[in-house]
Structures are given as structure tokens and as C-alpha cells.
Amino acid sequence: MELRLAGVTDTRVLKALETVPRDVFVSDPFLEHAYDNRALPIDCGQTISQPLIVGLMSQYLTLAGREKVLEVGTGSGYQAAVLSRLARRVYTVERHAPLLSQAEARFAALGLTNVVTRHTDGMKGWPEQAPFARIMVTAAARQVPEGLTDQLDDGGVMVMPVGDEGQQWIMRLTRTGHRLKTERLLAVRFVPLLAGLPGDGGTF
């Protein structure tokens, strides 16, 4: 009800949030807060987003159920699990190998067979599987990465936070041919989207 009052009105998104157990994706020290509407720390200096943001970003993608979705930034796996209830298949990429291993174990435990994972630089997306009908980025870039918009199908939608530490906005980009329509939707605060992999010269 709290999420509905805050703007998550899509019934499919609300059902997905209800059926994905958030406590499975939260670290033990924070289990008592698993169902609070707040972001929580996870390993590798990352966070699991608050349920409201997960719900709104999922709703912004306008998923009908048959889409092929790319998620950049697997993190705990919670957002990908929610998307798995809303789309045909979710391709999710993560630069932190320990986070990806944990997320894969959670997907297996929940029996999510339509989530495919890859350990890679998120800026590169998953070009071999492109184009994607929808792309969601769960870390903030200073500018929209062309390498990701190039993987968006005609008519496709990409949702991501854009900005620096001072000010970030959820942006929705819709591709029509070679044109991208841009909408600014919501002020947020996300961890930064970084290039490279930890240990190869990229920032941890």
C-alpha cells in the first residue's frame, strides 16, 4: 500500500514486488530491515535499492511480459528477480564477481530460469544478445553511454540514473529509428556506473 500511494500503480509490478522475497537478497546484518522502504548496503561497496525505486524503475520500463531485457548492474540480484516476473528473459551483467556469484545462487534457489548472467564491464552491455527491447541501468552515469543506447531496439526503452554525486535523475530514453526521446522522471541517488573491472585498472 505504501508503494502504491508513492506512485507504483502498475498491478503487474506490484505483484512482482509482493512475490519476490527481498530478505533473500539482503545481507544477514540487515535482515531485520529487509522489508523497510530503504536502500541497504551489500558487499563490494554497493547497495540494494529501496523497494520504491525498484518499483518505479520497473514501472517506467512499461513491460508487457514478452520483452527481452538487459540489466546493467546485477548487484544483489533483487531488481533482476523482479524483472524476471515482468519480462520474457532478463540478461544481467555485473562487474563485481563476488556479487554475481551470490546473485546466481539466489536466482537458482528461487528457481528463476529466465535470468541469464555475465561478469563483464557494464558499460559494454551484452552486444552479442542485442538488440534489447528494454534496458535498465542500476548505477548512475555522468552521461548516457552510447555503447548501451546502441543496443536498444527500435521502439525500445532504456531507464537509468544520470548525473553526478550532487544531482542525479532517473531518465527514460525511447528509441525511434535513430532518434532518442529523453524524459527526466525522478531525482535519485545511486552508486556510480564505472568502466572496467575491479583490479584491471578500473576503480573498485
**Residues recognised as catalytic:** 49
- In whole angstroms, what is the distance from residue 16 CA to residue 2 CA? 15
**Residue 88 in 3-state DSSP?**
coil
* H helix or E strand, kind and range, residue 80: helix 78-84
Task: List, in order, residues 6 or more apart from 116 with CB less than 8 Å away.
Answer: 89, 90, 91, 92
> Are 160 and 170 within 8 A, CB to CB?
yes
Q: What is the DSSP string of 92-105?
A: EEES-HHHHHHHHH
The residue to which cell 517506467 is assigned = 60
Among 113, 161, 106, CA closest to 135: 161
- Planar angle of CA 144, 153, 74, nearest 5 degrees: 60
Which candidate, 115, 113, 23, places its Cα nearest to that of 74? 115
Partnered with residue 184 across adjacent β-strands are 171
